[in-house]
Each structure stands twice: as C-alpha cells, then as structure tokens.
Structure 1
Amino acid sequence: MNSPNRNMAIVRAVREQKRSPSKVAKHFGISRQRVYQILNAFDAGGAQAVAPKSRAPHTHPQAVPDKLRAEIVTIRRQLTRHGLDAGPETIAFHLERDGKRSPSTSTIRRILAKEGLISPEPKKKPKSSFIRFEAAMPNECWQADITHIFLADGTRVDVLDFLDDHSRYLLSITAASAFTGPQVAAELTRLITTYGPPAS
C-alpha cells in the first residue's frame, strides 16, 4: 500500500516517535533507502510531496483522435444531407471502406451525441404495453424483412427473408449486396408459386 497515510506514518514514526529508520523500514516492509527518500521528499515539499502520484496513464491509447472524430461528424452530416441512413453502423462501414480504423458503434454514437447530432429517444414503452400479433392460421399472413449486416471484411450485405406469421416457418432467406423492389416482388411471386398465395 502506498497511501499518503502510510507515507506520513513513516515520517511521524521517525520524526515524532524518534524511531530509527532501520526499524521503521522493517516495520513497513520497505528498504531503509526508501524511508530516507520519503523523509527527504517530506522535508522538501511537505505532506503533499509524499502523497502517491496517480498511476493513470498520461495518454489514452484507446481515445479517438480528433481527426477521426471530425471525420465521423463529417460523414454523418454528408449522409444526412443526402437523405441516407446516417447511423453509427453506416458511419463505421464508410470508415472501413475507406481503409480507416473504425471505433465501436457505441463510441461513434457517443461522439455524435456529444456533438449534438443525435436527438435523445423518448422513453420507451414497457414491454407489458406491447400486444403480440400472431396470425391464427398458416398462410394467413406472411412477413418480409430486409436486414443489413456487415461481413468481417466490412462488406455490407442485405438479407431478405419471408416468414409465415402463424407457424414462424421461414419460407425463404436470400442475401445480396442490395435488393430492389422488383427483386423482392420476384421472390414473393416464386414463393406464391411454391406455397400458394397468403391471405395477406
């Protein structure tokens, strides 16, 4: 333990209690040389001089450099100006596509929030307020969804899936760099040919 109380206890043991530096060193489990260092520091600067120094690093290697912060803000503003998705995942994709190291999406979100570029979300409803919808019979209702994912090399892939809402049967799942409306319609037509049309 290297607390100010410990160092001051060493000073008091020698100066006030008149104990020898050798005995004090043995009592505190340190070298006699260290006792003299503490005494000399106290003589030169008082109690503050023997207070332990912070062990926190002077630099933070994980901190996002100012240049990268500015680039994140610039990308956000450009995407927003063009009416495109400007979320942290998309910003990370653009950074990686340009060969730059991207911080985590949570770090990007914090940077955007600090710059006032993210509006705080309203308080979410409790889960108990949601009403779960489920079709009563198979083929009563199909759901389609497109999910954006990023591969390990940073490539963005869109995943299109169709699901029967009653049985949760996965009718189809396909991946592409992007899906157009006609491609989605073509996949729906193929599924109708295979399974028959859903009620909705």
Structure 2
Amino acid sequence: MKNDPVDPTIRLAIARWPQDAPRGAVTAFCTEHHISRKTFYQILKRARTEGQAAALEPRSRRPKTSPNATSETLKDQAVAMRKSMEDAGWDHGPISVHDQMLKLGMQTPSIASLARIFSERGMVTPAPQKRPRSSYRSFRYPMPNACWQLDATEYVLEGGRKCVIFQLLDDHSRVAVASLVART
C-alpha cells in the first residue's frame, strides 16, 4: 500500500544490503516487496548514516511545528472571557464567547476550537446524552401467530387520489401476514 510503513523485516534486509550487489538486484527486490526504489534508497541511506537499528523503524510523520495551533495567550483570553461572561450571568457557551470576542475586536479562534479549549480546561459540565439505541428493547411476543399488529399508512396517488395501505404483522417474527390497499 502507498502510505503503509515498510515491514521491519524488509527494512532489515535493506539495511544489510551488500555494497557489491549485482546490477538490477535493487529493482528486483523492490518489485518483489512492492516498494519503490526511492523508498529503498532512503532506508539504505539511513542505515548507512545512522546505523542498522535506526533503519528498522520509520521516522515520525508528525510535523515539527504546528503554525496553526492556537496560542496559549489566546486560550487564556478565551477562558477569561468565558469566566467574565459567566460571572455576569450571561450565556457563556463557545458561540457566545466567540461573538463577544469579535465585538471587542479581539483575535478569535473558531467556535469548535473554543469548545475544545473549554473542554481541555475542565470548564464544561458534561450534559447527559440521549439513551443509546442499544438500550431500547423492542416488544416481541413470546409465541408466533399469537399476537398481531396492524399498521395503516395513507398514501396520495397521482392525480390527488388517496389510498390507505394496511399491513398485518406477526409480533413474534415480524413477518407480514397480510397487506391490503383500500380507497379512502
């Protein structure tokens, strides 16, 4: 795969690659192991400059700097703004803080960044979420054909005529026992 890291056993084979390898051996090796020659030579160069052990693990792909990261001073300003709005009795959610900072002409991070900052600083009290769907227990009658359920749906046909669709379901197996379409 294109972005998958190269397997350590392949990296070790590259790190131990002989200086006097026959012509075409690198291409054959790369074809066999589904890696590019550029990757092969990058690993080989790293093994020869930093040692075999360094070549066994890929380098981190994380950038050295994050220029778009929110500065600590801006985070502190946002927290102070939220605190002052809370003390004044105003709404102090991320949208309100964002709008207030804009009104005052301050540099403002996005609403999502403000929400993340407030969560990181422990200023948000978690609200109870909706019940998970897995907690709902649907009704299921214990025996088949002992209890039925009748559903009706009104449907408008072309030309404006209406009809009603009746469906009779078995409450145990959910099998459609019968269905009927009737004019209204």
Q: TM-score range by the shorter chain?
A: 0.5 to 0.7
Give the one of 86, 110, 118 matched to 2:124.
118
Aligned-pair distance for 1:91?
0.8
Distance 1:48 1:37, change over 3 A: closer
Q: Distance in 2 between matches of 1:55 and 1:118?
A: 33
Q: Deviations over 1:38-95 (max 9, x none)?
A: 4413xx4332245321222112233211011000100011011111111111111122
Give the one of 84, 88, 107 matched to 1:82.
88
Aligned twin of 2:98: 92
Question: How many residues are paired up?
Answer: 122
Distance 1:4 1:124, change over 3 A: closer
Would you identify which runs of 4 or more consecutive aligned residues in structure 1 move more than 4 Å? 31-36
Distance 1:34 1:53, change over 3 A: closer
Greater share of helix: 1
Aligned twin of 1:30: 37
Identity across the alignment (%): 25
Q: Distance in 2 between matches of 1:126 and 1:25?
A: 55
Aligned twin of 1:45: 51
Which amino acid in 2 is paired with 1:96? L
Q: TM-score, normalised by structure 1?
A: 0.50
Unaligned stretches of 5+ residues in structure 2: 31-35, 134-184
Unaligned stretches of 5+ residues in structure 1: 128-200
Q: Distance in 2 between matches of 1:80 and 1:38?
A: 55
Distance 1:112 1:34, change over 3 A: closer
- Secondary structure of the residue aligned to 1:102 is coil
After superposition, residues 40-189 of structure 1 pair within 5 angstroms as: 40-41=48-49, 44-124=50-130
Q: TM-score, normalised by structure 2?
A: 0.53
Q: In angstroms, what is the RMSD of aligned CA positions?
A: 3.2
